Amino acid sequence: MSAPATRNQSGFSLIEVLMAVVVLALGGLAMLSLMQSSTRNAAMIQERSLATLAAENLLNEALLAPALSGGVDGHYDMAGTRYAWSLELEPTTDRDLKRVLLVVTGAESGRELARIETFRRGSSR
């Protein structure tokens, strides 16, 4: 009697195909998560950049004001976004030098987006 002839089989088994699909699906999910995180970070950077520009505008206006004293606050609209801001003027050890602190927050979120600190000499221009 002769042994049955065996054929060399080529191709992939069902288990191998399923494992390949699982690995590709996990890789795709990781890429989607990475893209979502990147998009979220880009939006946050844009929000902070616009808030910093708003803060610089507000600070320039405040420093050009002839009389600046104490603390003031308000709202500022820029690029379709509303920001809340507060500006405080504090004395320093030098009587002619004042510390100026400007904080810009999101009007809706209340989260601090920009903070600028500088100094101003004298009480008037």
Residue 1 lies in a domain: no
Q: Look up the pTM and report it.
A: 0.68
Query: Band of the pLDDT at 3, cuts 50, 70, 90?
Result: low
Inside any domain, residue 3: no
Q: Answer yes or no: is 6 within a domain.
A: no
CB 73 within 8 A of CB 85: yes
Closest by Cα among 84, 95, 27, 25 to 54: 84
Question: Domain for residue 64, yes or no?
Answer: yes
CATH of the domain at 28: 3.30.1300.30
How many angstroms separate the CA atoms of 76 and 65, rounded? Answer: 17
Is 40 contained in some domain? yes
Other C-beta atoms lying within 10 Å of the C-beta of residue 105: 18
Residue 8 lies in a domain: no
Count of Cβ atoms closer than 10 Å to residue 67 Cβ:
7
Range of the domain at 71: 14-121
The answer to whether residue 9 is domain-embedded is no
d(CA 1, CA 9): 24
Lowest-pLDDT range of 18-27, 36-45, 60-69, 90-99 = 60-69
pLDDT tens string 30-61: 999 999 999 999 989 999 999 999 999 999 98
Domain count, the chain: 1
Model confidence pLDDT, tens digit, residues 96-120: 888 999 999 988 888 999 999 999 8
